[in-house]
Amino acid sequence: MIPRYPFGRTGHLSSRAIFGAAALWNVSQARADAALELLLAYGVNHIDTAASYGESETRIGPWMKRHRQDFFLATKVEERTYRPAWESIRRSLQRLQVEQVDLLQIHNVGDPQVWETVMGPGGALQAVLEAQQQGLTRFIGITGHGTLIARLHLQALERVDFDSVLLPYNSAMMQNPQYAADFEALMAVCQARNVAVQTIKSITRRPWGPRPQTRTTWYEPLEDQADIDAAVAYVLSRPYLFLNTVGDLDLLPRVLDAVARFRPDRPPARTMAVVAAEQALEPLFTGPM
């Protein structure tokens, strides 16, 4: 079973592996239901989806009829201004077949201009705050990709008391000195204020580039179990971090297995230094997004 840890100040003990429901983007309900059974078997009790994740919310909706009490449910809104964001939130609740989510996140604000629109007058933030005031969500968060996102999350926390942040964290990304410094500064603030930190792209090998895409991930992933073990350990060795799982249902069991077997006093068979050298790891993001 996967261990659990306080999800910031929410009062919820979340599994260290959070189900990244982008994996349900374009799958049948039968495949989605099989994923649910796997989550329950591993003790995963936190789902992270988004309005922009294809069929994901629609596939999760039937689960909520039977298992709402078993999951901390998070979704995201990617619209940038108030009215479209408000309409997106309402549609998400309908697709998820719930009256309230546990966490509503402003999604993908890694570009400074987008950040200003979202956070400014008439921006999506206004809709998210109103949703919280009306009881449509218990908590609020902010997410993003790209090399500027840790810095932008810091700015967001200066303006709004978000309950969680979400951003990339892996060995290749942390080779960028500025991103690493920004990430550590963000971590310090989050720990001081008890803001939950979710990480994505843990098993990234490199961008797809000219190579044919053989997985449903945005990136070419690590495939070998020992390599995945090392990548998972890289994240979980920092006890404050949560790991959002991979966006590919075929790789999901390997990631969950790695998380379930992780022990802080038991290093994996392969280190990230060895994996990085042998697999030629490359950062997925080299600029804003």
Summarised one tens digit per residue, pLDDT across range 36-86 is 999 999 999 999 999 999 999 999 999 999 999 999 999 999 999 999 999
The reply to whether the predicted model has a pTM over 0.75 is yes
Retrieve residue 222's tokens: 């690590």
Summarised one tens digit per residue, pLDDT across range 122-154 is 999 999 999 999 999 999 999 999 999 999 999
End-to-end, the C-alpha distance of the chain in Å comes to 35
**pLDDT confidence tier of residue 288, bands split at 50, 70 and 90:** confident
Residues 44 and 14: beta-carbon distance below 8 Å: no
Positive/negative CA dihedral, 160, 45, 99, 124: positive
Q: Tell me which of 5, 42, 53, 169 is the catalytic residue.
A: 53
Residues 6+ apart with CB under 8 A from 119: 109, 125, 156, 159, 160
**pLDDT confidence tier of residue 232, bands split at 50, 70 and 90:** very high
Mean of pLDDT values over 25-44:
98
Q: What is the pLDDT of residue 152?
A: 98
* Rounded Cα gap, residues 200 and 235, in angstroms: 10
Give which of 196, 77, 193, 198 is closest to 126, Cα–Cα. 77
Q: What is the pLDDT of residue 59?
A: 98
Positive/negative CA dihedral, 109, 47, 252, 267: positive
Residue 53 annotated in active site: yes
**pLDDT confidence tier of residue 269, bands split at 50, 70 and 90:** confident
**pLDDT confidence tier of residue 287, bands split at 50, 70 and 90:** confident
**pLDDT confidence tier of residue 286, bands split at 50, 70 and 90:** confident
Summarised one tens digit per residue, pLDDT across range 161-188 is 999 999 999 999 999 999 999 999 999 9
Answer whether residue 289 shows pLDDT above 80. no
User: Which residue in this structure is represented by tokens 């429901």?
Assistant: 21
Summarised one tens digit per residue, pLDDT across range 84-94 is 999 999 999 99
Q: What is the pLDDT of residue 222?
A: 98
> What are the structural domains, with CATH classification, of the chain?
4-279 (3.20.20.100)
* Rounded Cα gap, residues 226 and 205, in angstroms: 14
